Amino acid sequence: MTRSSTGRGGSVFRRVLSEAVGALLFPVLAILISFAIGAAIILATGRNPIAAYSALITGAFGSPAAIGRTLVNATPLIFTGLAVAVAFRAGLFNIGGEGQFYIGAITAAWLGVSLGFLGPIALPITLVACIITGFLWGAIPGALKAYFGAHEVITTIMLNFIAINLTVYLALNPLRGSGLVPGTENVAAAARIPVLGFGLGRANLGIFVAILAAVVAYLILWRTKRGFQIRAVGLSPGAANYAGIPIGRNTVLALAIGGAFAGLGGGVEVMGVYGKMAVPFVANVGFNGIGVALLGRNHPFGVVLGALVFGGLFSGAQEMQFQTDVPLSLTVVLLAVILLLVTATRLVELIFGKRARILASGTRPEKGLGQ
């Protein structure tokens, strides 16, 4: 997946296939195991796991409306997942997806209204603006890290509080709308992202923007000089410095590019799903983006798949609760087990042996101690 073809058709196909299988094997296994554990829990509470899971799956993918809900859930998670994944490739933990998402959302809520007179042309302008504000907001922790040594985990968490409270203040005060639901004014209808139709409900073209964003993230990381630099810095700062690759600049850019994806996500959410920034606004997309990136092994295409898993579980859970009385919170358990298995590679080793762990983590286990 991560490599282009050489001239040798057959071996390339085999390589791509074996890489894809290696990459997918563990997330899939993790999901299956988590479902098995979930089944035990459902049984223990005296309910029927088969009924519960069939309701879950029906609720996630069983009808156009269900698929629509899953897509609506997955779209913002793709963006925030990319925000985490891109930064991670530079060796940085971006916990700030939530704040970056909110910054993009308020940008869209503002421009979607004030540029509304432009009609459909307002949409691309607004989304580009979301990319820019997200980029700048993401650059802040990057610069703090690169030039002042402040750890990005701390600063991105702190900036989340600032971003959330700032945007909520803006949405309730200078940008407050006249509607019943507290929040901003509705953006111009002509500037909204069109819905998909086909009975998919609120699902809109935003999902394609998200997939496009994943492709762009892939191209940036593996087909540009910038991406080469970011990955070199992430894997070995020493070797990057040796090769004359500036570490500071790439730290700033990796977090900023991540922020741009999250910011665009916020914009797509406003312009696609809600038409405004309501207060309270969607919560936890930034944090779930971390889980999505982990499940997707910090690969843009993995992020898309991971977001669909998360989105499907969220929408299916409602149906499950409605039909079988198994509580929504079971999905939290399922997600927790999935993430535990995907991240705790040593646990995988314990269960499946060392070879499996090498496959799971994509790297070799540390050899011995010291040296």
Which residues of this protein are in contact with other proteins, per CB under 8 A? Answer: 3-6, 15, 222-228, 231-232, 235-236, 238-246, 354-355, 363-364, 367-371
CA dihedral for 336, 27, 309, 219, sign (positive or negative): positive
Nearer to other proteins, 221 or 273 (CB): 221
Nearer to other proteins, 176 or 226 (CB): 226
- Which residue type does 357 have? R
Nearer to other proteins, 224 or 284 (CB): 224
Nearer to other proteins, 83 or 245 (CB): 245
- Nearest by Cα to 337 from 327, 347, 328: 347
What's the closest the beta carbon of residue 140 comes to other proteins, in angstroms?
24
Instruction: Give yes or no for a contact between 194 and 204, defined as CB atoms under 8 angstroms apart.
Output: yes
Show the CA angle centred on residue 330, arms to residues 164 and 281, nearest 5°. Answer: 20
Helix (H, G, I), strand (E, B) or coil at 114: helix
What's the closest the beta carbon of residue 17 comes to other proteins, in angstroms?
14
183: β partners:
278
CA distances from 203 to 197, 221, 265, 266, 350 (A): 8, 29, 14, 15, 41
What's the closest the beta carbon of residue 248 comes to other proteins, in angstroms?
13
- Nearest by Cα to 173 from 158, 163, 185: 185
Nearer to other proteins, 37 or 247 (CB): 247
Nearer to other proteins, 14 or 151 (CB): 14
What's the closest the beta carbon of residue 201 comes to other proteins, in angstroms?
39
Number of residues written out for the chain = 371
What's the closest the beta carbon of residue 243 comes to other proteins, in angstroms?
5
What's the closest the beta carbon of residue 294 comes to other proteins, in angstroms?
18
